[in-house]
Homo-oligomer: A and B are copies of this chain.
Amino acid sequence: MSVTLDEARALDAADPLRRLRNRFFLPPGVIYLDGNSLGALPVAAEARVREAVTREWGQGLIRSWNDEDWIGAPARVGAKLARLIGAQRHEVVVADSTSVNIFKLLVAALRARPDRKVILTETGNFPTDLYVAGGVASLVPGVEVRALPSGEVEAAIGEDVAVVLLTHVHYKTAARRDMAGVTARAQRAGAIMIWDLSHSAGAVAVDLNACNVDLAVGCGYKFLNGGPGAPAFLYVADRWLGELVSPLTGWMGHAAPFDFVDDYRPAAGVERFLCGTPPMLGLLALEVGVDLALEVDAQALEAKSARLWSLFAGQVESRLAGQGFTQITPREAQRRGSHIAFAHPHGYAIVQALIARGVIGDFRDPDVMRFGLTPLYLGFEDVWRAVETLGEVMASGGWRDSPERGRVT
């Protein structure tokens, strides 16, 4: 199962996506396996943000809202993103954070199912999904959040369920749900399906239209490489666009925001889910990341991600057998996303020791080590070296010198 360094290099040489590696800034001495948390800096983003600051803001000033089409950027970047996730261009817009977008879509969906009162989700979902659902429940009379263990959710989609809110690829385990199957099941029961694509977009092939998905949200700063705190996106299926209205009725969601009238009238399209003035610097940086992802076929992206995963898993199995690593990511390629996770009783200390050696992964409570396998810029040699370093950390006991547990982001 194990490969040699030369074999890993040969895989890189044959990798059709290899040409994209130089389009990212990857610091010397670092193997970056945390693109599932914050993606690397695209080289072009440096120049794009500089241009946005120096020329568009500095010289263009207020005129750039029109002259540089800042005002059109949320829909423009949304339309590009749509191509990555199998949506029509008018079904996606970039706005706010994932959390805020979940709130908008949950409330909008509940209003479309006034006789049902349950938001169904899973325990151990990414916390913000659970927290926001709870916030919605405390606001909308009668609504309750029903969070069940992962394996029990699908069977529990009953006739009292208004909305099913699930994450496509789990942030901790990387387990990927059957989008088409779960969506169909929810819809057969009369519920509306919301997918959180935070760990999917830019990492695995997603086809929202083919899966007949109702609503979706996702994050801009992970596999889309939009930069720290990049704005998020949301998707509303065409068939819902006429009916659903955002509860966050800010001026940018108005049909004619620059008429400055007193009465709210939602925009005709997905722009009605905009709220305040769009965060231009983050949005323009995100556009660079989305453009990069669009240079690659989504199937090719997913295929490479799967091969990086197999190499990582295989190397750990052969190199680190019996050393306490329990792989918690599903083995079947179709059932996982683009990171690999292991439980280990000393996971926190081991991750710290790896970071100290330039191999950056991360840790999630209680004992999970995560390694992001970003197909756009990561190579097979990177994966090979990462596992070698892990082997050295374990062999030397170097993790015992790791700093005490502190804040981990």
Contacts and interface: CB of A to CB of B under 8 A. Distances in A.
A127 B262 contact: yes
Contact of A65 (B64, B251, B409): B409
A141 interface: yes
A244 B353 CA distance: 42
Contacts of A247: 135, 138-139
A134 B248 contact: no
Interface in A93-115: 96-100, 103, 107
A250 B409 contact: no
Interface in A47-78: 49-50, 52-54, 56-59, 61-66, 70-71
Q: How many copies does the complex hold?
A: 2
A128 interface: yes
A27 interface: yes
Given A61-B30, A135-B248, A278-B229, A127 B96 contact: no
A408 B258 contact: yes
25 contacts: A25-B58, A27-B58, A27-B61, A37-B62, A46-B53, A46-B54, A46-B58, A49-B53, A53-B285, A62-B362, A63-B355, A96-B97, A96-B276, A99-B248, A107-B139, A127-B262, A128-B276, A131-B250, A131-B251, A139-B140, A228-B280, A229-B276, A258-B407, A280-B282, A281-B281
Interface of A: 25, 27, 30, 32, 34, 37-38, 40-41, 45-46, 49-50, 52-54, 56-59, 61-66, 70-71, 96-100, 103, 107, 123-128, 130-132, 134-135, 138-141, 147, 172, 219, 221, 227-232, 246-254, 257-264, 275-283, 285, 355, 360, 362, 364-365, 406-409
